[in-house]
Amino acid sequence: MKDSRIAAVDVGNDAVKANFGKMENAYYIPNVIARDMEDRPVIGIEDLDEKDPLDNLHIKVHSPALEENNAVYRVGTLATKTNNSTELDQGSSKSEEDQTLIMLFASIALDSVSSNSFKKGKNDTIDANYTLGTGLPLREVKEGKDVGYRSQLLGNVHQVEFLVTPQYQGIKVNIKFDEVKVYPEGFAAYVNLIMDNNLNVINKELIDKQILIQDIGGLSTDIAVIRNRTVDDDKAQGFPLGVAESLEEIREEIRTRHGVELDSRRDVVDIITRKNDRHHIMVKGSRTNIHDITDRILVELAKKEYRNLRNVWQKNSQSEICYFVGGGSAVLKDYIKSLNNKLDGFNIDFFEDEEESIWMMANAYYKLIMDYVNKNTPAEAKEKATTEKK
């Protein structure tokens, strides 16, 4: 694996968060795609290369793993500007959606062309080898879907061709995975709590505690029960409940009541979580409070999430604390805290740094895949690397 580059990718329902190499590259890409034509029209084509590639991802994807092969997509921010964009729907399985793979390949291809790890060959083609750490919801892992997902990635070459994308137009990236590790998301969150980026143990007081981790995502919620430093598979539960449907409801009510069209669910999240002017939008140039819309919808969702916590805690009564993680937790934090104060008063905790909560999975996958690589690197290679550093 000496020429294999590290990729740690969290394909979240809201956005992809990805770390590469020695953490020198990191990307946040809204999980939105839109089918498109190969030669999309661009105003000011001569200025294309002055634009940010991340905001103008236009690609063609070829992979045996895809149901729809050789299709052209706008990805991320560029896709939100169309009227045919798609986001993952409630009830879908992350491991079985083309969109999950497209976002995964797009983020890796972007790293391939922007890093100095791979050289371009003939016809502007890059052959890129990666060792990938990623994850799936606990519910899907318990159903065995991680096995099929991993096999789709391994043993195949996946090609991403950059079309009308600034700086990278015409470049093709052939992605091959030397190894793929698919981790349960709840366990990944636990690893992130107890280990730093150098794989040193932090928060030693948590190691031997029985704790709960409630990961609220866009389409699902996982509650992991951690005891004896591992996930208790029998006790861990996954629920087909996330914030996506509520965000769509808020988005639709804003459109109906105020005539304001938001590009994606990401815009709704920003309105709810930003530091200034939370729960406000601009309507015809006037700052408008939408607290009545967001509160009504999010309180109902928080009640459902709290009910799930209560049920799991009752079955695991010796749990000492529950940590809320994930992008959905950042959205629901204030509502869940308020409910807990009025009702059971469980020992719960949130990450006050919302960026830390949002990036938790990607950071955890990075720690886990680095741990795997370190344990599987021959001793002579480690000694050589240490000598070269000196």
Q: Over the chain, what HEC string results? A: CCCCEEEEEEECCCEEEEEECCCCEEEEEECCEEECCCCCCCCCHHHHHHCCHHHCEEEEEECCCCCCCCEEEEECHHHHCCCCCECCCCCCCHHHCHHHHHHHHHHHHHHHHHCCCCCECHHHEEEEEEEEEEEECHHHHHCCHHHHHHHHHCCCCEEEEECCCCCCCCCEEEEEEEEEEEEEHHHHHHHHHHECCCCCECCHHHCCCCEEEEEECCCCEEEEEEECCEECCCCCEEECCCCHHHHHHHHHHHHHHHCCCCCCHHHHHHHHHCCCCCCEEEECCEEEECHHHHHHHHHHHHHHHHHHHHHHHHHCCCCCEEEEECHHHHHHHHHHHHHHHHCCCCCEEECCCHHHHHCHHHHHHHHHHHHHHHHCCCHHHHHHHHHHHC
Q: What is the mean pLDDT of residues 102-127?
A: 93
Q: pTM, whole model, 2 decimals?
A: 0.86
Domains, the chain, ranges and CATH? 5-185+365-389 (3.30.420.40), 208-358 (3.30.420.40)
Indicate whether 383 pLDDT > 80.
no
Best CA proximity match to 27, nearest among 113, 136, 124:
113
Residue 381: alpha-carbon gap to chain centroid: 32
Res 60: pLDDT: 97
Mean residue pLDDT of the chain comes to: 89
pLDDT class of 387 with cuts at 50, 70, 90: very low
Q: pLDDT per residue over 58-100, tens digit each?
A: 999 999 999 999 999 999 999 988 888 888 776 678 899 999 9
Per-residue exposure over 213-249, b if at least 16 CB sit within 10 Å of its own CB, e if not: bbbbbbbbbbbbbbeeeebeeebbbbbebbbbbbbbb
Q: pLDDT per residue over 348-373, tens digit each?
A: 998 767 777 788 889 999 999 999 99
Res 389: pLDDT: 43
**Distance between CA atoms of residues 6 and 175, nearest Å:** 13
**At 379, phi and psi to the nearest 5?**
-60, -40
Res 168: pLDDT: 94
Amino acid at 286: S
Is the CB of residue 374 less than 8 Å from the CB of residue 199? Answer: yes
